[in-house]
Amino acid sequence: MNPVTDKNNDNATSSETQRPRKIKFDYEDDDQFQDETLDETVTESSNLDDDALMCDPDEIGADKTSADYYFDSYSHFGSSPIPYIDSLSVIFIGVCGYIYACNVCFGVEIELARFLLPVLLGFGIDAHFVLCVGVCIHEGRYIGASYAYGLLCRLILDHLLYDLCCFAQYPIIYTEIFTLQEMLKDAVRTKTYQNVIYKNTFLFKDKVVLDVGAGTGILSLFCAKAGAKHVYAVECSQMADMAKEIVKVNGFSNVITVLKGKIEEIELPVAQVDIIVSEWMGYFLLFENMLNTVLYARDKWLVNSGVVLPDKASLYLTAIEDAEYKEDKIEFWNNVYGFNMSCIKKQSMMEPLVDTVDQNQIVTNCQLLKTMDISKMAPGDASFTAPFKLVAERDDYIHALVAYFDVTFTKCHKLTGFSTGPKSRATHWKQTVLYLEDVLTICEGEALVGSMTVTQNKKNPRDVDIMIKYSLNGRRCLISRTQYYRMR
């Protein structure tokens, strides 16, 4: 990464910081759809704390009875059982790590690692072990907490795991099941969708619903229970077979039809649908998301007066102090036992970190970057350039920018939604951290100004390319720079 200095600061903005309108998310009690497996009724579908962007402290008060209380919180660096590592497994990890490091530093083709897979399996390395290690590393539960294993995760997950599952002829990729379970256990997410559907039956009664990216079919089951005339659950992965069984076991086969395939390739048994429901959001809102698929379904099947749920998504930006992590994980590469390995540092800084940020690290205000209206937007609107102005709330240092998103369902009787921000209850999306090359010394009241450009990657539209231009003209720091990031 070779940041380009922008001395003219053409993209700096002097406009006042945008403030999102403050809204309250709540529900009236309704026992009609009380799930017998839950301990109490949810009366407010929001995970926003008192000082979160979308709520006033006076509006929330002390009676926080939101869906987030069902959330069994966990840390990104939580404990996880690590399988026994035999000598061959150590060799496997070492070889893969070496190849990955070579790829980073010297451009050796990563495909070499794929060739080694059947050879290593031939030596007797347990396929289950490789899967477990891949998942553990992906979740940040690093063996020995070494950053090298963080780099290794991309090798295992992105380049080996799929081949391994195919080689071993597993019917369903393990990581898919783990991911689905993590999303279902995210009660901020799942309970909000459940409340949107159960508390707004007037939207679903006798309506035809399309569930885009149905997964286990949980949203389809909610819709069927809320009185939908029929639900078409479309899922392109092998999970569609499981979803059919789940629908059958729960007695909704006459209401829910599971269709296996891509939205762009299948044909629905009906010409139009009344509602499209989908949980399409990815990390950073747009990474590995299904937004374009939802928009395709909207344009092809949704009636003119139809509803898309959710229908609004907003991306925000703030700045944090994070000296300890940056020093330990990124600056480490500047001097490794007396040797310069900064080429790895540059690589690591270009890849945003998905992790949970402590709200006490926040140094500035939070800036609204982009709001997308899913019911009206065009596919190209997901690529944009937005200015920002982050004003320091105290004297501190800035090591990184943090992005997160909010989702709202505006068609409900009462406005409903949730936030993935650091001031709100944790979700599986966490936040996205973009480390800056410089450490910015900022004083209270001073503003870090600039712009963020977000585009779909040309080779893979599910990947995201990010460019940030920023400048600070402060009493103790003068800086102007451009940095590039890529989410792969």
The residues pairing with 252 across neighbouring beta strands, listed in sequence order, are none
Q: Which CATH architecture has domain 186-279?
A: 3-Layer(aba) Sandwich (3.40)
pLDDT digits (tens, 9 = 90+) for 395-453: 999 999 999 999 999 999 999 999 999 999 999 999 999 999 999 999 999 999 999 99
In this predicted structure, the answer to whether residue 61 has a pLDDT above a threshold of 50 is no
State the pTM of this model.
0.69
Can you tell me the mean pLDDT for 8-15?
40
Comparing C-alpha atoms, which of 474, 390, 445 is closest to residue 18?
390
Q: How confident is the model at residue 93 (pLDDT cuts 50, 70, 90)?
A: low
Are 193 and 219 contacting, i.e. CB atoms less than 8 angstroms apart?
yes
Q: How confident is the model at residue 179 (pLDDT cuts 50, 70, 90)?
A: confident
pLDDT digits (tens, 9 = 90+) for 220-229: 999 999 999 9
The two three-digit tokens of residue 313, written as one number: 């998504």
Can you tell me the mean pLDDT for 82-105?
47
Q: Residue 46: what pLDDT?
A: 52
Q: Residue 109: what pLDDT?
A: 37
Residue with the bigger pLDDT between 112 and 472: it is: 472
Q: DSSP string of 257-290?
A: EEEES-TTT---SSS-EEEEEE---BTTBTTT--
- Out of 173-187, 272-286, 301-315, least confident range: 173-187
Are 6 and 453 contacting, i.e. CB atoms less than 8 angstroms apart?
no
In this predicted structure, the answer to whether residue 24 has a pLDDT above a threshold of 80 is no
311-339: buried (b, 16+ CB within 10 Å) or exposed (e) per residue? bbbbbbbbbbbbeebbeebbeebeeeeee
The two three-digit tokens of residue 406, written as one number: 């909010």
In this predicted structure, the answer to whether residue 380 has a pLDDT above a threshold of 50 is yes
In whole angstroms, what is the distance from residue 33 CA to residue 44 CA? 15
Residue with the bigger pLDDT between 113 and 453: it is: 453
Can you tell me the mean pLDDT for 177-194?
90
Q: Residue 118: what pLDDT?
A: 52
- Out of 8-17, 58-67, 146-155, 423-432, least confident range: 58-67
Residue with tokens 């991911």: 179
- Out of 210-219, 314-323, 329-338, least confident range: 329-338
Are 256 and 220 contacting, i.e. CB atoms less than 8 angstroms apart?
yes
44-74: buried (b, 16+ CB within 10 Å) or exposed (e) per residue? bbbbbbeebbbbeeeebeeeeebbbbbbeeb
Q: How confident is the model at residue 95 (pLDDT cuts 50, 70, 90)?
A: low
Q: How confident is the model at residue 141 (pLDDT cuts 50, 70, 90)?
A: very low
- Out of 140-149, 195-204, 431-440, least confident range: 140-149
Looking at 107-146, list the stretches that DSSP marks H as alpha helix, in order from N- to C-terminal side.
Answer: 111-122, 127-138
Q: Residue 182: what pLDDT?
A: 86
In this predicted structure, the answer to whether residue 8 has a pLDDT above a threshold of 60 is no
Q: DSSP string of 221-251?
A: HHHHHTT-SEEEEEE-STHHHHHHHHHHHTT
Residue with the bigger pLDDT between 125 and 36: it is: 125
In this predicted structure, the answer to whether residue 76 has a pLDDT above a threshold of 60 is no
pLDDT > 90: percent of the chain: 56
User: Which CATH number is 313-487's, of 2.70.160.11, 3.20.20.70, 3.30.750.210, 3.20.20.140?
Assistant: 2.70.160.11
pLDDT digits (tens, 9 = 90+) for 32-57: 444 433 333 333 445 544 333 333 33
In this predicted structure, the answer to whether residue 385 has a pLDDT above a threshold of 60 is yes
Residue with the bigger pLDDT between 111 and 76: it is: 111
Task: Indicate the SS3 state at residue 325.
Answer: helix
Can you tell me the mean pLDDT for 301-321?
97
In this predicted structure, the answer to whether residue 70 has a pLDDT above a threshold of 50 is no
Give the mean pLDDT of the chain. Answer: 76
pLDDT > 70: percent of the chain: 64
In this predicted structure, the answer to whether residue 455 has a pLDDT above a threshold of 50 is yes
Which sequence positions are flagged as catalytic?
279, 288
- Out of 177-181, 260-264, 419-423, least confident range: 177-181
pLDDT digits (tens, 9 = 90+) for 227-243: 999 999 999 998 999 99
Question: Torsion-angle region of residue 261: left (phi > 0), alpha (psi -120 to 50) or beta?
Answer: left
